[in-house]
Amino acid sequence: MANETKDYSRYFDFSDALISEDEHGKRIRIGGREIYIMSEPSYRREKQRGKEEIKVLYEEAVPEELRTFGKGKKYIIQTYGCQMNEHDTEVMKGLFEQMGFEWTDDRREADVILLNTCAVRENAEDKVFGELGNLKSLKLEKPELILGVCGCMSQEESVVGRILQKHAYVDLVFGTHNIHRLPILLRDAYFGKEMVVEVWSKEGDIIENLPKKREGMRAWVNIMYGCDKFCTYCIVPYTRGKERSRLPEDVIAEVRELARQGYREITLLGQNVNAYGKDFTDRDYRFADLMADLSKIDIPRIRFTTSHPRDFDDKLIEVLSRGGNLVEHIHLPVQSGSTEILKRMSRKYTRESYLELVRKIKAAIPDVVLTTDIIVGFPGETEEQFEETLSLVREVGFDSAYTFIYSPRAGTPAAEMEDNVPMEVKKERLIRLNDLVAELSKRSNEALRGRVVEVLVEGRSKSNPNMLSGRTRTNKLVHFEGSPEWIGSFVHVRVTDPQTWYIKAEPVRQETGAVS
């Protein structure tokens, strides 16, 4: 029997706690704490896809009067979830430091702690609430500490309602659409001495010129925001809003500047990068056009994530087949190998069309490495349908996969479906799938034994400080002995000992050196 439909409006029924309300927001009191709600999340509004024009703004996000606001103060941002969240954290770091704050790794030194959250899976949400519980004692010891929650979880009515009722010591809650408002919200939280909640349910304009604090030699570059696919299991279209693309001239200018600064690799980001440009009304310019233009920029490696099979067109395949700085790694989420389950997921492609797309990609890019995402135990998944997933994984020969047990997300259509696959069955299927993926990964790595590959050296190995660690063009992790001076450059190594999830290698000394 399907789950009972939830009335999400009840999460913001604080009529008994209302102090005042005007056109700027409302003030309520819960557990002795005043809460200023400037705007609140709404599932109903997040589902809407309006015709409003998205404006591109080039304003300074940090007002002049707040440029020294954080002088002498320190901050921490704890990031959960996907690369988009990592990129959002880079923006928030840039905003903090433009305000005069300094980063610290010691939370006891911090004046501001932000949790940048992920709403895609239940365990990520559980981790955040667990961390909030851990931070309560620190907040009691240090009442002047500003504790904030932002990111995708903040876009959920149920989450913000739970924070208001059970975690009233939180000072600041904001969402994914109003990150650029962080300086103003911080100021209000500091001086108001109350919880400040501002979560925009409808996405705002595209804000350019936001400061970013990047580290290392690899950079994230966001090319678009939001998603219009509405897969039945996914909360992202609600938390990130409708698809809206940055102007190509702004993306190209950012990548050119990163090349000038010496970055060795960039990753283009979007919930569905293949949909880039489909929202433009004044030009015929799509993702393949952007990739073709970026391939002309003098930066050694360009990759992208994540892509949707339905929007992966022939023109993009042709552009990627040209190689150069466009790498041979494609992350292509499939989610299930069963056409029937794909239909229930509203993925809008079939098993057969996915395999045909893979055939086209492999024909055009013979040395391509494909990785994917897969969900097991989706409502109604039979053993036969799960076997279809295993057979598709074998047929494609994925090099690796992110695999997950299905968990319902409140507010999505799948949450109203009967979750009728027992947990023990889900776990058993996940083990079988992971065993197969491990087998394929080991086989793929073994095929590289004795071959020379190019590695971008990222740093010392986390498990052995005497070893260096880096990645190939196809995103394979490589460990090898070498000089710390090589960090940040490209070296050529010979594969000596392929493992399941990484490769051991040795430098080819006469070929070692930076690649311009």
DSSP state of 335: B
Positive or negative torsion for Cα 179, 184, 185, 190? positive
Determine whether the annotation assigns residue 227 to a binding site: yes
Positive or negative torsion for Cα 261, 263, 264, 266? negative
Up-side HSE of residue 119: CA atoms within 13 Å toward CB? Answer: 26
Query: Which residues, in sequence order, are bridge partners of residue 507?
Result: 493
Tokens, residue 413: 């259509």
Please name the helix (run of DSSP H) or strand (run of DSSP E) that holds residue 128, with its range, or none: helix 122-141
Distances (CA, A) of 300 to 114, 174, 503: 34, 37, 22
Contact 501, 475 (CB under 8 A): no
Up-side HSE of residue 396: CA atoms within 13 Å toward CB? Answer: 35
Contact 195, 36 (CB under 8 A): yes
DSSP state of 134: H
Determine whether the annotation assigns residue 150 to a binding site: no
**Amino acid (1-letter code) at residue 458:** E
> How far is Cα of residue 357 from the mean position of the Cα atoms in its chain?
24
DSSP state of 516: -
Tokens, residue 94: 């840039």
Count of C-beta atoms within a 10 Å radius of residue 71 = 10
Query: Which residues, in sequence order, are bridge partners of residue 369?
Result: 329
Cα–Cα distance, 35 to 29 (Å, whole number): 6
**Axis crossing angle, helix 248-260 with helix 287-294, rounded to the nearest 10:** 30
Task: List, in order, residues 6 or more apart from 256 with CB less than 8 Å away.
Answer: 297
Q: What share of the chain is helix, strand, coil (3-state, %, to 5)?
A: 35, 25, 40
Cα–Cα distance, 436 to 374 (Å, whole number): 13
DSSP state of 89: H
Determine whether the annotation assigns residue 152 to a binding site: yes
Query: Which residues, in sequence order, are bridge partners of residue 56?
Result: 206
What is the SS3 string spanning 438-492?
HHHHHHHHHCCCCCEEEEEEEEECCCCCCEEEEECCCCCEEEEECCHHHCCCEEE
> How far is Cα of residue 361 from the mean position of the Cα atoms in its chain?
25
Contact 487, 468 (CB under 8 A): yes
Annotated binding site for [4Fe-4S] cluster: 82, 118, 152, 227, 231, 234
Annotated binding site: 82, 118, 152, 227, 231, 234
